[in-house]
Structure 1
C-alpha cells in the first residue's frame, strides 16, 4: 500500500530563465546549492528523456540513493523525473517560468509515493516541514548562485 503526497515550492530569481535552467540541470554541480545531495548521470547524457540520474541524499555515510529517469525534457522550461528508488518513488518536477527577460520563478514539485504504507502516511506530517525547509533553503541558494556574476553552468 502506498500513499501519494505532493509538495510544491516556488522561488523567484532575479536572473534570466536560461541561466537558471542551466544551473538547475547541471547535475554534477547541484551539490553546490542543493542541501545534502550529490547527483550524477548514470546513463545517457542527462539532457533528455531516458537519461538516468542517481542522487545520494544524506550526510556522510547516512543517507539513501534516489534513482531517477528523465521522463520529460523541455528546456529551458521543464524537466520531469520518475523517482525509481527503494526509498523515493513518484514524480519530481523542475520548472522555470520566465517573468521578464531578467527574472523567473523556479517551481519544484514532488509527487511522492510514501514508503511504509500506514507508517509512512503517519510519519509524513513529521517529515514534511523539515523536508520543505531543506528544499526552500536549496532554492534560495540556487537563486543566489544565479543572481551573482558569472556563469551558472554549461550552456
Structure 2
C-alpha cells in the first residue's frame, strides 16, 4: 500500500532560476526546514547522483530525524518550457518515487511535486501515514512556498 502526496505552487521567477534552486542540493536547507543534504556520488548533477537528506540533525555520524537516501533517476533540465527531476527514495524511513515538474508560464514557473511512497512495517504504519497525509501536504506546500521565496530573490541580492 503506497501513499500519494501531491502539492503545487506558483513561483514568480523564470523556469531556469527555479531549476537552479531545486537541484542545488546543499542549498535546499534554505527552503526545506531543518534539512541537510550530503551528496554521496562523485558528481552533484545529472542521472545517478546519490544524496542523503536528513530532516533533523546529526549527532556526529548518527542521524536524529527523518533520514532519506535517494538517487536521481530522471534529470531533464529546462527545455521548451518544462523541466523535471525524478528521484527514487531508497529508505530507511520510506521508499518510493518522487517527481518535481516545473512548467514555465511567461516569467513565472509552476512547480508540482508528487511523492508516491511506502513506509516499512506493513499495512498499519502505512495507514497511520495516510492519517498524517494532511499535515504532510501542509509541510510540503510550505517548503514549496519557501522555494518560491528563495527563487524570487536574484542570487546577487541574496548574497549581499
TM above 0.5, yes or no, is: yes
Contact 1:19 1:151 in 2 (8 A): no
1:106 aligns with 2:111: yes
Q: Paired residues, what number?
A: 150
Give every structure 1 segment of 4 or more consecutive aligned residues whose post-TM-superposition deviation is greater than 4 Å.
none
Contact 1:95 1:108 in 2 (8 A): yes
Who is 1:144 aligned against?
A: 149
Deviation of the 1:152 alpha carbon: 9.4
Unaligned runs of 5+ in 2: none
Deviation of the 1:125 alpha carbon: 2.8
Give me the whole-angstrom Cα distance separating, in 1, the residues matched to 2:90 and 2:123: 20
Who is 1:119 aligned against?
A: 124
2:46 corresponds, among 45, 48, 72, to: 48
2:75 corresponds, among 67, 73, 85, to: 73
| TM-score, normalization by structure 2 | 0.86
Who is 1:27 aligned against?
A: 25
Instruction: Determine helix, strand or coil for the equivalent of 1:48.
Output: coil
1:132 aligns with 2:137: yes
Q: Structure 1 residues 47, 95: closer, same or farther in 2, change over 3 A?
A: same
Contact 2:3 2:130 in 1 (8 A): no
Q: CA RMSD in A?
A: 1.9
